[in-house]
A = this chain, B = another copy of it.
Amino acid sequence: MHQIGETQRVETQPELVRMEAAEYGLSMTRTARHVNLASRPNGAPVPENFEVVEAEVPAAGDGEIVVENRFMSVDPYMRGRMNDVKSYVPPFQIGQPLEGGAVGEVVESNSPNISVGDHVVHGLGWREVAVLPAAQAQPAANVDGVSLSANLGVLGMPGMTAYAGLLDVASFKEGDAVFVSGAAGAVGSLVGQLAKLKGASLVIGSAGSDEKVAWLTDELGYDTAFNYKSGPVAKQLFAAAPNGIDVYFDNVGGDHLQAALHALNVHGRVALCGAISMYNNTEPAPGPNNLTLAIGKRLNMRGFIVSDHGDMRDDFVREVGGWLADGTIKAEETVMQGIESAGDAFIGLLAGANTGKMVVEF
């Protein structure tokens, strides 16, 4: 069995190891590390909820591929899967590997559709090496000058979430005033840029630090932004949009949603995308006390998950990929190094430690 040091070498020099294995006429058994859910978080996750484990990598079966992951994603929705409750995805199991988006290089393929050396995106993150059916992997987008990790962010699930949420779920139209919470996150940072590019009359973002707020207005083109920790959201939102808003893209829930309901104009629309302010709650928190406003204002509030919007994928890749390639759209990442940091990356994500997409690089 390989030791951790050897495994790390395997990770960084896979071709060399394969050559060695071939030289010695050995069938290649190898080990790699993954992250198990050690225990369910009670409130905010802590390092002890995560356990890095080394295990033998299973052999690839018929139609399967072996992928050396280069980047794995941490996303807010994963917090829900760490609770033992039924949801649109089943809960993670204690003592079993976590899952999530990842992008990596194919090092073995038993599929005619994928070649060794291809880069693919798939759902078996939280591990250095993934073995999966080729049909469950998608070719990674390669955009000149853009990191492969963009497949987990602006060109991946979060980007597509922003695109579908704004244009379809919230029925954005030119001239709308748009408010985005979690605006410095992987989804929010694209929502605001898309809204500007599509002709919004006003784009407002909220984020949790003055640095993020400055990034939104100075780099991403948000018209105005505020630090929700600096004062009541409702008051800051009113100051930013005295004439109200037409669209609210909700990544946060809680007092942000309540403030938005107050600020929304007649026929306003809410895309309910996330509620990160509530994911670590141990008790149900009261909802907005002004939901009744939705009646007189004829608001349309829609929850969504990105996987329902696959029909928009081609448009998304073409449009956002183009804007990313020519620099029109900016995407930032917070990159943590090594699988040992995966738990901390997730903990930090929920605490707002990231600007833009949070990923872990192996």
Contact = CB atoms under 8 A, between A and B. Distances in A.
A292 B304 contact: no
Given A288-B287, A288-B291, A88 B253 contact: no
Nearest to A274: B295
A309 to B, nearest CB: 10
A88 B296 contact: yes
Contact of A88 (B272, B285, B287, B297): B297
Interface in A260-285: 266, 272-275, 278, 284-285
B291 A287 contact: yes
B299 A303 contact: yes
B284 A294 contact: no
A290 B287 contact: yes
B295 A303 contact: yes
Nearest to A279: B292
A289 B289 CA distance: 10
B295 A289 contact: no
A302 B298 contact: yes
B88 A292 contact: no
A300 interface: yes
A286 interface: yes
B298 A301 contact: no
Nearest to A88: B296
A288 B302 CA distance: 16
A311 to B, nearest CB: 15
Contacts of A289: 284-287
Which of the four size classes fits the interface of chain A? 35 or more
Given A88-B266, A286-B287, A287-B287, A298 B292 contact: no
A174 B291 CA distance: 29
Contact of A292 (B275, B291, B293, B305): B275
A156 to B, nearest CB: 19
Contacts of A305: 295-296, 298
**Which of A272, A278, A291, A296 gathers the greatest number of chain B CB atoms within 10 Å?**
A291
Interface string A294-326: 111111111111001000000000000000000
Contact of A301 (B290, B292, B302): B302
Contacts of A13: none
A3 interface: no
Interface string A238-258: 000000000000000100011
6 contacts: A258-B287, A274-B295, A275-B292, A286-B289, A287-B288, A298-B302
Interface of A: 80, 87-88, 253, 257-258, 266, 272-275, 278, 284-305, 308
Given A87-B296, A299-B302, A300-B300, 7 more contacts: A258-B287, A272-B294, A278-B292, A285-B289, A296-B303, A298-B302, A300-B301
